[in-house]
A and B are shown apart, each in its own frame.
Chain A
Amino acid sequence: MDDILARLINTFDPTTITSITGQSSLIGGFIIGILWGYVLQKGGLGSYNSTSGMFRMEDFTFWRVGTPMLMTAMVLLYLFSDLGIIELHPPKTIVIAQILGGLLMGAGIAILGYCPALVCTALGEGAVDAIPGIIGMVIGSVLYAEFVYGTSFEKKLEFINLGRITIPDMFLVFNHWFYIIAFVIMCNIFLIGITMYDTVLKYSFRSFNKISSMFDGKKAKDI
């Protein structure tokens, strides 16, 4: 028992709480986590109904939050990186592994109804079914580490490894702002369309509920 406790204390590194900035600072991570969880909860993203409703084509909260987020973040990040304040860290592109992994992730979200950040948001909101989700994600990561990493299957997955590449690098375009402007225009058109569709859908569901409750002889809940 004492051994286990000693090993548990050994996992905590006291130098990580000395400063706020820096890649390993726990205080910085906690502050950003509070802000992020607050924003996710206010957007209504941390509920099973909005995530699963997106895949059932009934609820488009995700797209209505995601599109302005993508275009604003893209403009802000590239602006600050051009000014030299921040440094970008694009992820690695491994084509086959990401196609297969993306399909598996989609399957997981469809069944569980939360993604890793939203599981924590749902837990803070009071959804108890987030706890088995968290346990399952830890088990899944351990399974990958135990049985797949380092085998020949993993080598086959990394067949097309492009490294830390961005789209302007790939197509050898003179300036990345060309892509950003195109993306922002596309996002705006998409956002207007999806908002109109979502509003129509919401009112049609509401009127369907009212009519069906009229036939049942019960009074509809007015929300």
Chain B
Amino acid sequence: MDREKNFLTTKRGWPVFVGIAFAVVELLSFIISDRPLGASRGYTVIGSIFEKVFFPEHAEKVKYWLLYEPYIDWTVALLLGIITGSFISAVSSKSFKIVAVPDMWKQSMGPSKIRRWFWAIIGGIIFGFGARMAGGCVSGLMISGSVQLSAAGFIVMMTVWIGGVMTTIAFYRLRTIAMRKD
């Protein structure tokens, strides 16, 4: 208990300070790499690499891979970096814990692991499809868009909020409100 509290060992930072640090990371991304932060391009490039490696004849015909060329690029390195950084932070503050089913999901949908994995894949497919349709994801379009005062960022901010709340009510129905135990 007598451990000194510094930026490595605190479990939760103060939200305002974390927000300012996030803004500095966004600025560093513009200064160092000359591009806005955005993650969903990485998943598209991984899909492109997958098709190129396993079905090379078919991948030649798909026109979308001309925009997203099958080469390991900045966003894939960014995704690996996020995993590493999060792991460093979790281990140094001793909050690393293997969790198969999250707490709130357990209270609304039961403790079944297969059910959680099934719905996670379905949710991922819907998200990936929507992100490609809009042309970016939450970080690339909503956050990086609205901080540059782009109209797209504010449109997506509204529609993500509406879609999220409506789906939450439709999907969890009577068990939407889950009592937190901590």
Given contacts A77-B147, A105-B131, A110-B167, contact A41 B99 (CB under 8 A): no
Are A115's CB and B127's CB within 8 A? yes
In the complex, B83 has a CB within 8 A of chain A:
yes
**Cβ B77 vs Cβ A26 within 8 A:** yes
> Which residue from chain A places its CB closest to the CB of B43 in the assembled complex?
A137
A165 at the interface (CB under 8 A from B): yes
A37-73, CB < 8 A from B: 37-44, 46-49, 52-56, 58-59, 61, 64-70, 72-73
Q: A64-B15, A117-B82 are in contact. Are A136 and B125 (CB under 8 A)?
A: yes
Complex Cα–Cα for A105 and B123 (A)? 9
A91 pairs with B153, CB closer than 8 A: yes
Flag if A80 contacts B145 (CB, 8 Å): no
Q: Judge if B1 is at the interface, Cβ distance under 8 Å.
A: no
Q: Which residues of chain B are within 8 angstroms of A4 by Cβ–Cβ distance?
A: 53-54
**Candidates B27, B32, B139; contact of A21 at CB < 8 Å:** B32
0/1 interface trace, chain A 134-150, chain B, CB 8 Å (1 if under) = 11111111111110111
Closest to A101 in B: B134
Q: How would you classify the secondary structure of chain B's contact residues: helix, strand, loop or mixed?
A: helix
User: How long is the Cα–Cα vector from A125 to B87 in the complex, in angstroms?
Assistant: 6
Q: Are B168 and A110 in contact (CB under 8 A)?
A: yes
Whether the Cβ atoms of B37 and A36 lie closer than 8 Å is yes
Proximity bits, A170-193, B CB within 8 Å = 1, else 0: 100000100110000000000100
| Interface residues on chain A, number (Cβ under 8 Å) | 136
- Chain B interface size band reads 35 or more
Contacts of A117 in B (CB 8 A): 37, 39, 82, 137-139
- Residue A13, interface by CB 8 Å: yes
Partner of A29, one of B13, B74, B133, B143: B74
> Which of B72, B156, B176 is the one whose CB lies under 8 Å from A12?
B72
Give the contacts of A165-223 with B (CB-CB under 8 A): 165-168, 170, 176, 179-180, 191, 205, 208-209, 212, 221, 223
Closest to B140 in A: A91
Within the complex, the shortest CB–CB distance from B78 to chain A, in Å, comes to: 4
Query: When chains A and B are docked, how far (Å) is the Cα of A128 from the Cα of B76?
Result: 20
- Closest A-B pairs by Cβ, 9 of them: A33-B81, A136-B124, A140-B128, A106-B163, A108-B127, A101-B134, A104-B130, A102-B159, A124-B86
Selected A-B contacts with CB under 8 Å, 9 pairs: A24-B74, A26-B73, A29-B77, A29-B78, A69-B20, A87-B30, A115-B138, A120-B82, A134-B43
- With contacts A53-B104, A127-B102, A133-B124 known, what are 20 further pairs, Cβ within 8 A? A11-B49, A12-B71, A27-B77, A41-B90, A43-B22, A66-B19, A67-B19, A68-B16, A91-B150, A103-B162, A108-B125, A109-B138, A113-B123, A117-B39, A126-B97, A138-B43, A145-B65, A150-B64, A168-B149, A221-B182
